[in-house]
Amino acid sequence: MTAPGSEAAVTPRHEAAVTGSAPHREYLDRLAAGSVPFQTCDGCLTAVFPPRVICPACGATELRWSESSGLGTVYSTSVIAPRDADPYPVVLVDLDEGFRMMSTVVETPAADVPIGMRVRAHVEQDGPSGPRVVCTAAEAAEGEDAS
Amino acid sequence: MSPRDLRGAAAIVGVAESDLGEVGQDRYAIELAAQAAGTALAEAGLTTRDVDGLFCAIAGRGMAPLDVGEYLGVRPRYTDGTMVGGSSFVSHLHHAALAIAAGACDVALIVYGSTARSDSGRGRLAMGPPELPSYEAAYRPRPPITGYALATARHMHQYGTTRAQLAEVAVAARQWARLNPKAFARDPLTVEDVLAARMVSSPLSTLDCCLVTDGGGAVVVTSAARAADLPRPPVYLLGAGEAHWHRAISQMPDLTVTAATESSARAYAMAGLGPEDVDMVQLYDAFTINTILFLEDLGFCKKGEGGDFVSGGRIAPGGELPVNTNGGGLSYCHPGMYGIFPLIEATRQIRGEAGERQRPGVSVAVAHGNGGQLSSQVTAILGGRDTL
Ligand SMILES: [Zn+2]
């Protein structure tokens, strides 16, 4: 039992849960700060995305936030051509750290985004609904295995 | 009880569609469900008063079984509102068989209705409470088409599948639909037409996508013992299997391999049958790629060979393996959740009641449901009396 007046007693549990580790809030804050965030499981080292409170590989509840290098490979792509706007690609990108996300590729014509293309993900702060991760074609040198 | 004990324990004794196509703005999903229920029960020689197990799902309605129960005047002692998208109804059949075998109910009514087509002329359904935040929406995919398009692009990349092979799926479905007076789209269709259609989310064109129609359906299930006393030849559930691995397409591990690999393996194991024993296949063809993926994942051809397999009319009328003989979601009917219609068509084919599109001597048929974006997969294997 915590003594009255101690630190734990003045911070209600529910408040700690919401302000301390709400995964989506943490994600948005990190995105706004310019990082491409994901989590890593302390138990099995699996890269976890989207953010959550339990590891989908092993069930551990200790997940550590990490920042992606942004380097990745287009896993699949579809071009959407609205009647009243420019076509744009919707892609699935495999980040080199071992997680996959939906994104788009900017600064390259939609039709010129093949599967297997090396890309660099970064944060577009003024996306249509706030900050989002977008990709650009990676320079040949950075696309190669640097290790 | 092991899964094998469920083989042949329950049977479909009545099936029906409601009015299909475009039913008009003053009609409602539950009316179509109820219309189908009444017809299916009459075919089974039963009434709503016999129903003590209710199984249903309606898109956007969180308490659909309560709505339907009230509307029909059914007071079930067992209810299942499992909602796994379009695969829900094949899942309901599995659950109904389990419930009947356990004595939890005796006459199960699986029922569905939707006015997806007519709804486009009235206000959108109110949005429910948020689920999880979407990590996809910021990229403006067109759900669900883009999810299937991404799977298609990957399949083409990995296996050399072509758009012409995808088009063969749409053409075969249309050829079957031309034999089905209830089918919505019955005009002639060629591979060239599909290839020339407007691209929606590449590589899928408008003609790679299913219809949007209104429609309802119902399936009545009871024990094999009780089925023997009812008017129509029972169609037995020989095997069933379920699996799901993801919800969002970005979380699907390999876009060319669906959880139907597992759902079908479970169904085959329960039935003690394999794909070589199957006379015809009713698959959830929301998009042309579905048919190719599911033929592979259900074992009718090897992974990557689906495009070749569907070519040259092999799944069309007159082909070696009849697939989606009602015309499928691509040409017959697709009211948002198609999964009850494969059960209805498989039942009719096993009974020999499919009219001009009937294939002779169908004793084993597969009905496969898909939900979400290649997410939920449920396989059922149905058979006539000679399969017990
Ligand atoms: Zn883990």
Residue A130's alpha-carbon distances to A28, A103, A124, A126, B141, in angstroms, are 9, 14, 8, 6, 16
- In the predicted model, is pLDDT for residue B305 greater than 70? yes
Q: How far apart are CA B375 and CA B293, in angstroms?
A: 13
- In the predicted model, is pLDDT for residue B189 greater than 70? yes
Assess contact for B330 and B173: CB atoms under 8 A: yes
Spacing, Cα A115 to ligand 1 middle (Å): 29
Q: How far apart are CA B366 and CA B382, in angstroms?
A: 6
Cite the beta strand spans of chain B per DSSP E: 10-17, 53-56, 78-80, 107-114, 199-201, 204-205, 215-223, 235-244, 280-282, 364-371, 376-383
Spacing, Cα A62 to ligand 1 middle (Å): 8
Mean pLDDT of B69-97: 98
Q: How far apart are CA A132 and CA A103, in angstroms?
A: 8
Which member of B141, B149, B255 has the closest CB to residue A102? B141
**What integer pLDDT is reported at residue A16 of this predicted model?**
38
Omega cis (within 30) before B203: yes
The length of chain A is: 147
Which residue of chain A comes nearest to B158, CA vs CA?
Answer: A115
Q: How far apart are CA B283 and CA B294, in angstroms?
A: 7
Q: Which of B78, B236, B284, B338 is catalytic?
A: B284
Which of left, alpha, beta for B103 (phi over 0: left; psi -120 to 50: alpha)?
left
> Burial, B318: exposed, middle or buried (Cβ in 10 Å; 0-12, 13-18, 19+)?
exposed
Tell me which of 3.40.50.720, 3.40.50.1950, 2.60.40.1240, 2.40.50.840 is the CATH number of domain A69-140.
Answer: 2.40.50.840
Percentage of the residues of chain B whose pLDDT score is greater than 70: 97
Query: Which residues in chain B touch residue A81, judged by CB atoms under 8 angstroms apart?
Result: 199, 202
Contact state of A78 with B201 under an 8 Å Cβ cutoff: yes
Strand B204-205 and strand B107-114: pairing?
A: unpaired
Residue pointed to by tokens 């002329």: B121
Assess contact for B122 and B47: CB atoms under 8 A: no
Q: Which of B112, B236, B332, B338 is catalytic?
A: B332
From the centroid of its chain, how far is CA B198? 26
Contact state of B139 with A75 under an 8 Å Cβ cutoff: no
Assess contact for B350 and B230: CB atoms under 8 A: no
Distance from CA of B208 to the nearest CA of A (A): 14
Q: Is B332 a catalytic residue?
A: yes
Spacing, Cα A128 to ligand 1 middle (Å): 33
Q: Looking at the complex, does the CB of residue B140 fall below 8 Å from at least one CB of chain A?
A: yes
Q: Is B152 helix (H, G, I), strand (E, B) or coil?
A: helix
Distance from CA of B209 to the nearest CA of A (A): 14
> Any idea what DSSP says for residue B234?
P
Homologous superfamily (CATH) of B3-120+210-383 is Thiolase/Chalcone synthase (3.40.47.10)
Strand B53-56 and strand B78-80: pairing?
A: parallel
Q: Which stretch of DSSP H or E encloses residue B348?
A: helix B340-351
Contact state of A24 with B133 under an 8 Å Cβ cutoff: yes
- In the predicted model, is pLDDT for residue B277 greater than 60? yes
- In the predicted model, is pLDDT for residue B327 greater than 80? yes
What count of Cα atoms within 13 Å lies in the side-chain half-sphere of residue B356?
A: 10
Assess contact for B338 and B290: CB atoms under 8 A: no
Q: How many inter-chain contacts (A to B, CB under 8 Å) are there?
A: 74
**What integer pLDDT is reported at residue B2 of this predicted model?**
87
- In the predicted model, is pLDDT for residue B344 greater than 80? yes
Q: How far apart are CA B138 and CA B2, in angstroms?
A: 46
**What integer pLDDT is reported at residue B227 of this predicted model?**
98
Residue B335's alpha-carbon distances to B92, B98, B211, in angstroms, are 18, 27, 8
Residue pointed to by tokens 């002779």: B360
Assess contact for B277 and B165: CB atoms under 8 A: no
Which residue of chain A comes nearest to B248, CA vs CA?
Answer: A102
Partner B, chain A 86-105, Cβ-Cβ below 8 Å:
88, 90-92, 100-104
**What integer pLDDT is reported at residue B384 of this predicted model?**
98
Query: Which residues in chain B touch residue A127, judged by CB atoms under 8 angstroms apart?
Result: 138
Mean pLDDT of the residues in chain B: 96
- In the predicted model, is pLDDT for residue B74 greater than 90? yes
**What integer pLDDT is reported at residue A18 of this predicted model?**
39
Per-residue b/e over B280-300, b at no fewer than 16 CB within 10 Å? bbbbbbbbbbbbbbbbbbbbb
Contact state of B203 with A78 under an 8 Å Cβ cutoff: yes
Which structure tokens are listed for B12?
Answer: 């479909």
Q: Is B27 helix (H, G, I), strand (E, B) or coil?
A: coil
Phi, psi of A15 (to 5 degrees): -70, -40
Instruction: Tell me the per-residue pLDDT of A62-72, one tens digit each, with 9 for 90 and over.
Output: 999 999 999 99
Which member of B133, B154, B199 has the closest CB to residue A81? B199
User: Which has more pLDDT, B5 or A146?
Assistant: B5
Phi, psi of B149 (to 5 degrees): -65, -40
From the centroid of its chain, how far is CA A120? 13
Q: Which pTM was predicted?
A: 0.94
Contact state of A78 with B255 under an 8 Å Cβ cutoff: no
Distance from CA of B268 to the nearest CA of A (A): 28
Residue pointed to by tokens 């936030």: A65
Extents of the domains making up chain A: 19-67, 69-140
Number of neighbours of residue A94 by Cβ within 10 angstroms:
15
Q: How far apart are CA B90 and CA B239, in angstroms?
A: 11
Extents of the domains making up chain B: 3-120+210-383
Spacing, Cα A66 to ligand 1 middle (Å): 14
Q: List the one residue out of B331, B346, B354 whose CA is nearest residue B380.
A: B346
Query: Which residues in chain B touch residue A24, judged by CB atoms under 8 angstroms apart?
Result: 132-133
Per-residue b/e over B110-148, b at no fewer than 16 CB within 10 Å? bbbbbbbbbbeeeeeeeeeeeeeebbbebbebeebbbbb
Q: How far apart are CA B368 and CA B262, in angstroms?
A: 12
User: Which has more pLDDT, A81 or B122?
Assistant: A81
Low-confidence residues in chain A, pLDDT < 70: 1-21, 140-147
